[in-house]
Amino acid sequence: MKKKYINKIFALLISVICLGILPGCASAFGNSSDKLVLALRSGTYSEVIRQCIPGFEEKYGITCEIKEFGEDELYNAILNNSLVNKSDYDLCMVDGSWMAEFMDSGVLSNLTGLGYSFDDDIIPATTKVCYHDGEVYLAPYYGNVTVMLYNRDLLEGSGLSDGIKTWNDVMTLSKYAEEQGINGYIYRGDTENNVVVDFLPILCAHGGWVIDSDNNPTVDTPEFHAAMEYYMELISTGAAMDKETMINSIETGSGCTGVGWPGWVSTDKESNTDFVAIPTGISDSDPDYNSNIYGIWTIGIPANSGNRDNACELLKYLMDPEIQKSTVENEGVPCRYSSLRDPEIFKLHPHFTEICNALENGVYRPIIKEWPQFYQYLGKEMADILNGKQSIEDGLAIAQHNLEALMGTG
């Protein structure tokens, strides 16, 4: 009798488990939760995705919770969650410069394995950082890329009737502004990262870069020296400013030009600030090099998400051409030709032509896990050069030595 009673209890427990009633049983059998948690970069980037969520929730019956972070906080949140058995997040925004470290630490899911692939509408150059060993791990979502800001009135008065086409045009415009008693070229010298990123487009236009194909530092090189000399001449026409001061300076005409981001410029036709894609050559007779620096925010799925299948459905939904096109009215910048070249969208967003040009001719910051330390070492020595504390020759030699030690190539 006792044995029969125990058998009935055991059978009942098995039935309950099979029905998925006990807590945790659904995930134990591989079923996904009906809720997804998103870790996103705060600001416009997260707001663009937030506007898309109701449509996804209605279509799939899956609720989504958005958690917003500043850039450093987002990096730490994703990385720290990769160390536990199950991540708190199911989809996350990732800066391209984190890719190498995240792949080295096994942070991201293989999107190819989950059934996602790129279509021909996505600008090819923007996907470069998304691959690892031929497989897709990230998708380019928000097309952030450096552009050349300028004051419209000062450009008109400079005599550059064809606008800014080369870096020599930037130099001409900046010197014209200086002659008017106005700050010419404005650069951001407030952090090591900003010092380096502001300089990278000119380095690219000189045919240089910070590492070679084997990740050896290439700072103490003829190209880097030439770029620094050119940069020093350019910044001598203006001043170092933080972001807000720079934006206000160019808008009011107390400053002329500088490297910035599209989101810094009002789409209001009455604005005095405009932008173009960063020049790819120093002069008309010099070679062209991709010189626009990507700050693209990609999206991916944590490898230890408990809801990877549903998260992939969300990623596919967010990357859908029509869904991405709908984000434009909320300040979205898709990395898609169908959005950036749409005639109806162009009427309201003429800047998209320049953004598309910049995205087609862009380059990601080095995809190395040491990049945060790399730019700190390089930025420190560059700042000392810019502030007159050391010569170009001495500063670049010190930077090369330190970076070789960091990369283990010295």
Tens digit of pLDDT for each residue in 229-241?
999 999 999 999 9
> Over 70: is that where the pLDDT of 33 sits?
no
> Over 70: is that where the pLDDT of 20 sits?
no
Banded model confidence at residue 5, pLDDT cuts 50, 70, 90: very low
Please give the residue that has the higher pLDDT: either 11 or 379. 379
> Over 50: is that where the pLDDT of 12 sits?
no
pLDDT at position 252 is: 95
Q: Per residue in 332-364, pLDDT tens?
A: 999 999 999 999 999 988 889 999 999 998 999
Average pLDDT of every residue of the chain: 91
pLDDT at position 16 is: 41
> Over 50: is that where the pLDDT of 28 sits?
no
> Over 60: is that where the pLDDT of 67 sits?
yes
Q: Per residue in 290-314, pLDDT tens?
A: 999 999 999 999 999 999 999 999 9
Q: Per residue in 256-278, pLDDT tens?
A: 999 999 888 876 667 899 999 99
pLDDT at position 189 is: 87
As a whole number of angstroms, the distance between CA 352 and CA 344 comes to 12
> Over 70: is that where the pLDDT of 6 sits?
no
pLDDT at position 117 is: 98
Domains contained in the chain, CATH given: 33-144+295-363 (3.40.190.10), 147-293+370-407 (3.40.190.10)
- What is the pLDDT averaged over residues 388-407? 97
pLDDT at position 152 is: 94
Banded model confidence at residue 21, pLDDT cuts 50, 70, 90: very low
Q: Per residue in 95-107, pLDDT tens?
A: 998 999 999 999 9
- What is the pLDDT averaged over residues 205-228? 97
The proportion of the chain whose per-residue pLDDT surpasses 90, expressed as a percent, equals: 83
pLDDT at position 190 is: 87
Q: Which of the residue ranges 16-25, 84-93, 158-167, 368-377 would you say has the lowest mean pLDDT? A: 16-25
- What is the pLDDT averaged over residues 207-212? 97
pLDDT at position 265 is: 82
Banded model confidence at residue 32, pLDDT cuts 50, 70, 90: low
pLDDT at position 409 is: 86
